[in-house]
Structure 1
Amino acid sequence: MIFCGPGEYEKTFYNLLNRFSAAASFPVFADASSSARFPNNKNVITNYNSFFGSEKFINNFDPELILQFGAAPTTKFSLEFFENSKAAKILINEFGDLLDPSKTSSIILKAKPETFLSLFLKKNKLSKRENAYLNSIKIINNWINDFRKSKIEKSQFPFEGKIISEILSLIPSGSNLFISNSLPVRDLDYFAESSNKNIKVFSNRGASGIDGINSTALGIAASSKRKTILITGDLAFYHDLNGLLTAKNYKIPLIIILINNNGGSIFESLPIAKHKNIFNEYFKTPHQLDFKKFVEGYKGNFVNIKNWNSLKAEFVKALKQKKFSVLHFKTDSTKSHSVRKEFREEAVNITNNFINDN
């Protein structure tokens, strides 16, 4: 099993990963922040977080070996699976860093992932073979893909997970996508299907949290010839409002997808959310801000998105702008949380049903 975590990979990495995974018949559990889902690799698995919610999957599909390229995966379920797995675990990254919060890895290789894969393929002749383990995982992944598509299509505007999938359908191939911390990066991991588009994904992971998101995305947009899109939440956007001065002064045409659920809605998944008397004031921290006035103060283009059709029209307009644009979604965090929960529960059921029948 291969875990492809967030990281800065060279262009050759994805082709080498494709060749290696095909030759070894290894499933690639690709964190959406790794860019390994774009373009598509037929062994890339996108629904592994759903698998890890199933005890039956954990008990029946624990591998003998895990190779981890780049940083540790984003989600709690992935980290727990990695920690509890009895597999031999090899970390492969350029500086030989212990990118394993569980500290259960067996070996750390100080090597660029591209170099490791290239040398391994040159020194070892792997004959492609049928692999029931890989095939079973791919079938479960495809079944959950089908369910996810139907679930997203039926979801009411503006479900936050569908915002992610709609933006991915609209982004031109050859673009940069910067994904903010908190819920956006997790929704990307759950709802981003693999695609043949060439999309370079960036994120700020680690102790910095939601600080500096706007400024980092603006730096990427300014230094790249690619179209650059930022998907961010309201608190992360608010934390770095002053970064928009850079957009104004240097006329950087960043497109910002602003998902405004009025506070830190990621905390609604924690037990503290049941204590309404303190949850809103100390955890969710609703702000009731009118972001339009801030954006226009920095000479940006601000649009309230009212439905999916208006998103498509306004996104096309934003791609042609020579200044930054903010496409603003006012969302209902409680409803989005409910849809996420339903999706995860049914995805676990799909996984269990496959295992029961096979």
Structure 2
Amino acid sequence: HVNCMFREPLAPLTAEALPEPFARAVDNWRRANQPISTSVSGPPEITARDIAALAREVSTSERGLLLAGGLHSEIERKAVLALSSALGWPLLADITSGLRLSPGKQLIPYYDLLAASESLRRKLAPEVVLHLGGKLTSKRLQQFLKDAAPSVFVHVSPYGEPVDPDHIVTRHIQTNIASFCDALCEEVPSPQESDYLTRWQQANRLVEDILNQNCDGERLSEPAIARALSRNLPDSHALFVASSMPIRWLDMYASTDAGVTQVGANRGASGIDGTMATATGYAQGLEQPVTCLTGDLALLHDINSLALVSSSTWPVIVVLFNNNGGHIFDMLPVAKVREGYEQHFVSPHGFRFADAAAQFGLAYVCPSTANDVIGAYRDATQQDRSSLIEIPIDA
């Protein structure tokens, strides 16, 4: 197996020259007498001098943006929220941060949908960005940040590998996230009233009103079910999300009503492999029930691990979107390639999963309306056993 990193688009599209943004970035680097980005790493605790210098840098900006990627503890999450409050900046929290499903004064949950608006992208472009934690799910957010080209873009992570697919980070800091947040909170001045934060909040409320008006109803759609599921997650459950569209639907459409902070996901090139096994291990490790939102191909890739789901001492409720294939590719340039697209990318299979549930001794239900889905899910969370809820989606 050879895993090669290629730039998008991966479809066989032709171009006579380098894309303009890429050519401009290369040209700027060639002319400059310094690297594109610098890194601060080594000591587990960042120095007071580094913190003081960064505090001066961020406190002068009126258009600062705080990003929360994957976070791994309640200590980190509380520290990020405290820093958001200390800075007075909008907080854009990825679904894997554990902050996306909870209400917060400066939390902007619908940033992905806001980034679809060209006019809002111009009005909300940041000057300074502080990214804490792991990679981001939203492609639109990444494109928004790339187009904004902030003069200061700091990424903080306890790991050495930078998260910078578009080469726009100006400084990587390898350190403990909670300690970093605590130290920066001590240095920054008290936040002032911010028109920038207000504009983000107003736009976010508008999107929330539209979602509330349009995501209710009986029709089975993945965005509506993802939003409804986020509103009905029990406090006792953690959430595990499969790659491809399930994690994206939640990142885009989830409500902030749940308050669930334990959110796990497999990300990367092999993200759909091992979904059921990882969800079961997540439940065992946390010692609490887990709701797993998955797609049909992710389940098929790991269907033998339903044996683990069935025997788990902590219930795993599998909520399955079955749209008969990998329809994430419908949103990518490769969808324009007619020859072989349906067979090799969408990979329709025609399977339903009732017999698989029976084979592994799982409770099973296949609801036909949105209200039935939520009713079935609530019933499943009341049982002391794992179950499979299959939701057929017309792709």
Bucket of the pairwise TM-score, normalised by the shorter protein? 0.7 to 0.9
What residue in structure 1 maps to residue 269 of structure 2? Answer: 207
Please tell me the residue identity of whatever aligns with 1:5.
Answer: G
- 1:259 pairs with 303, 318, 321, which one? 321
Does 1:227 pair with 2:278?
Answer: no
Pair 56,236 (structure 1): closer, same or farther in 2 beyond 3 Å: same
Note the C-alpha offset of 1:318: 1.4
- 1:240 pairs with 295, 302, 306, which one? 302
For 1:179 and 1:72, the matched residues in 2 are separated by: 15
Please tell me the residue identity of whatever aligns with 2:79.
Answer: L
> What is the TM-score when the length of structure 2 is the normalising length?
0.79
Note the C-alpha offset of 1:275: 5.4
Note the C-alpha offset of 1:136: 0.8
Note the C-alpha offset of 1:315: 1.9
Note the C-alpha offset of 1:150: 1.0
Describe the SS at the equivalent of 2:209: helix
Describe the SS at the equivalent of 2:189: coil
For 1:288 and 1:184, the matched residues in 2 are separated by: 19
- 1:270 pairs with 302, 319, 332, which one? 332
- 1:74 pairs with 123, 137, 141, which one? 137
Does 1:117 pair with 2:175?
Answer: no
Kindly indicate whether the alpha-carbon contact (under 8 Å) linking 1:175 and 1:226 is maintained by their aligned counterparts in 2: yes
Please tell me the residue identity of whatever aligns with 1:103.
Answer: H
What residue in structure 2 maps to residue 188 of structure 1? Answer: 250
Describe the SS at the equivalent of 1:202: strand
For 1:266 and 1:165, the matched residues in 2 are separated by: 18
What residue in structure 2 maps to residue 14 of structure 1? Answer: 77
Please tell me the residue identity of whatever aligns with 1:20.
Answer: L
Note the C-alpha offset of 1:59: 2.6
For 1:23 and 1:332, the matched residues in 2 are separated by: 46
Gaps of 5+ in 2: 1-64
For 1:193 and 1:28, the matched residues in 2 are separated by: 15
For 2:247 and 2:167, the matched residues in 1 are separated by: 24
Once the two structures are superposed, residues 115-143 of structure 1 have per-residue CA deviations (whole angstroms, 9 ceiling, x without a partner) of: 11111223x25213210011011101111
Kindly indicate whether the alpha-carbon contact (under 8 Å) linking 1:52 and 1:58 is maintained by their aligned counterparts in 2: yes
Pair 129,59 (structure 1): closer, same or farther in 2 beyond 3 Å: same
Kindly indicate whether the alpha-carbon contact (under 8 Å) linking 2:275 and 2:299 is maintained by their aligned counterparts in 1: yes
Please tell me the residue identity of whatever aligns with 1:212.
Answer: G
What residue in structure 2 maps to residue 279 of structure 1? Answer: 341
Pairwise CA RMSD of aligned residues?
Answer: 1.8
Please tell me the residue identity of whatever aligns with 1:129.
Answer: Q
Note the C-alpha offset of 1:54: 2.6
For 2:195 and 2:175, the matched residues in 1 are separated by: 31
For 1:39 and 1:51, the matched residues in 2 are separated by: 19
What residue in structure 1 maps to residue 113 of structure 2? Answer: 50
Percent identity, aligned pairs only, is 27
1:77-116 matches, within 5 Å, as 77-87=140-150, 88-116=152-180
For 2:352 and 2:144, the matched residues in 1 are separated by: 41
Kindly indicate whether the alpha-carbon contact (under 8 Å) linking 1:38 and 1:200 is maintained by their aligned counterparts in 2: no
Please tell me the residue identity of whatever aligns with 2:295.
Answer: G
Please tell me the residue identity of whatever aligns with 1:228.
Answer: V
Pair 53,247 (structure 1): closer, same or farther in 2 beyond 3 Å: closer
For 1:310 and 1:176, the matched residues in 2 are separated by: 22
For 1:168 and 1:40, the matched residues in 2 are separated by: 12
For 1:163 and 1:171, the matched residues in 2 are separated by: 12
For 1:276 and 1:296, the matched residues in 2 are separated by: 38
For 1:196 and 1:153, the matched residues in 2 are separated by: 17
Query: Structure 1 residue runs of 4+, over 6 Å off?
Result: none
Please tell me the residue identity of whatever aligns with 2:228.
Answer: E
For 1:277 and 1:222, the matched residues in 2 are separated by: 44
Describe the SS at the equivalent of 1:45: coil
Normalized per residue, which structure has more helix?
Answer: 1
Pair 96,319 (structure 1): closer, same or farther in 2 beyond 3 Å: same
Note the C-alpha offset of 1:263: 0.5
For 1:129 and 1:174, the matched residues in 2 are separated by: 38
Number of aligned residue pairs: give it: 330
Pair 105,332 (structure 1): closer, same or farther in 2 beyond 3 Å: same
Note the C-alpha offset of 1:27: 0.5
Note the C-alpha offset of 1:243: 0.9
Does 1:298 pair with 2:360?
Answer: yes
Does 1:151 pair with 2:192?
Answer: no
Please tell me the residue identity of whatever aligns with 1:199.
Answer: T
Gaps of 5+ in 1: 334-358
Please tell me the residue identity of whatever aligns with 2:182.
Answer: S
For 2:367 and 2:390, the matched residues in 1 are separated by: 6
Greater shift in the superposed pair: 69-78 or 275-284: 275-284
Please tell me the residue identity of whatever aligns with 1:304.
Answer: C
Please tell me the residue identity of whatever aligns with 2:245.
Answer: L
For 2:255 and 2:214, the matched residues in 1 are separated by: 14
> What is the TM-score when the length of structure 1 is the normalising length?
0.87
